[in-house]
Amino acid sequence: MAMPNPAPSQLPRFLGRGGDTGVVRSGVAPRRLHDLYHSALNAPWWVLLATFAGFYVVVNALFALAYVAGGDDIANARAGSFVDAFFFSVQTMATIGYGRMVPVSTFSNIVVTLEALFGLVTLALATGLMFAKFSRPRARVIFSRYAVIGVRDGVRSLMVRLANERTTGLVEATLRLVILRDEVTAEGESMRRFHTLQLTRGSSAVFALSWTVVHPIDESSPLFGETTESLKKNDVWLVAALVGTEEASGQMVHVRHSWTADFILFEHRFHDILTRSPGGGRAIHYEKFHDVEPLAGSEPQSERQSERQK
């Protein structure tokens, strides 16, 4: 039985690039001008291109105003025409030089010199930024919508599933699972603690298809004795961090994902997505990747808790 898709507002929050953790930061002044490069790398392509286009128009408009302020000092341009001055600025910054409009005064030549220098510098910066963003390695890894707690090899275990969407594999992929939860120390201090979960297999020589990560829940596990209610009460987050080397480019990539307590299902298992094709090879069905089903003979956790209380 496949679980229904949650509403967008119910989707799990992410930790990491571009994610909103819901944390309000105070006492730290924003320093956007110091983080322009970082912000540009993380911005969507359409935002970056729109910013470049707007910056290009504004800068040329400012230089056009400078040319207009200088008077009739551009040959073959209409006196006082902002449009002619604007397009002359575009030709100058792009080093096009059609030859029709040319500077004829010392003032206009000084402005052309400044604009040519500014154009060279901004072109170099824009080219470097675009190349860095285009060539930035990204791991196309998908994580299961839900984390499940069930039985694997006779042991009660927490399981999450991930898959590689690319045809090339991730070499020496390593994954870590961590839970974050609210705890109270012996001194009565409330704090947020991190617990690393031990995995049956935390690395893969070549991560090519799918990978089900398993954490046995024994007495040493931070999840031992936990229930859906206790996970929600302590605001538990499950965070997965994957690091590996992209096989085609040889560059290291990393990706993170998180699940809140609402997306950790007890007494469930993942639907099988690996099958044999008619030709004898393996086939992976991504359309069933997020599907989960209750364990055979299991009952809702709330009913089992009620029985224990009786």
Tens digits of residue pLDDT in 200-216: 999 988 888 889 999 99
Q: Evaluate if residue 30 carries a pLDDT over 70.
A: no
pLDDT of residue 309: 39
pLDDT of residue 261: 92
With bands split at pLDDT 50, 70 and 90, how would you rate the model's confidence at 8?
Answer: very low
Residue 150 Cα distances to 132, 259, 297, angstroms:
43, 17, 12
Q: Evaluate if residue 15 carries a pLDDT over 60.
A: no
- Give percent of the chain above pLDDT 90: 45
pLDDT of residue 268: 92
Q: Looking at residues 213-225, what average pLDDT do you find?
A: 92
Residue 9: inside a domain, yes or no?
Answer: no
Instruction: Identify whether the C-beta of residue 235 lies closer than 8 Å to the C-beta of residue 191.
Output: no
Residue of higher predicted confidence among 33 and 38: 38
CATH of the domain at 276: 2.60.40.1400
Regarding whether 159 and 126 lie in a shared domain, the answer is no
**Residue finishing a domain among 134, 164, 196:** 134
The backbone torsions φ and ψ at residue 75, rounded to the nearest 5 degrees and listed phi first, read -65, 140
**Residue finishing a domain among 134, 167, 184:** 134
pLDDT of residue 29: 65
The parent domain of residue 60 ranges over: 32-134
Residues 6+ apart with CB under 8 A from 274: 209, 210, 282, 283, 284, 285
Say which DSSP state 231 is in: H
Task: Please report how many Cα atoms fall inside a 13 Å half-sphere around the Cα of residue 173, on the Cβ side.
Answer: 29
pLDDT digits (tens, 9 = 90+) for 237-248: 999 999 998 887
pLDDT of residue 25: 66
- String of DSSP letters for 109-171: HHHHHHHHHHHHHHHHHHHHHHHHHHT-----EEE-S-EEEEEETTEEEEEEEEEE-SSSPEE
Alpha helices in 135-277 (DSSP H): 228-233
CA atoms of 62 and 68, how far apart (whole Å): 10
Regarding whether 294 and 214 lie in a shared domain, the answer is yes
Q: Evaluate if residue 63 carries a pLDDT over 90.
A: yes
- Buried b / exposed e over 34-44, threshold 16 CB at 10 Å, is eeeeeebeeee
pLDDT of residue 210: 86
pLDDT digits (tens, 9 = 90+) for 273-305: 887 777 777 777 888 889 988 987 655 554 444
Residue 128: inside a domain, yes or no?
Answer: yes
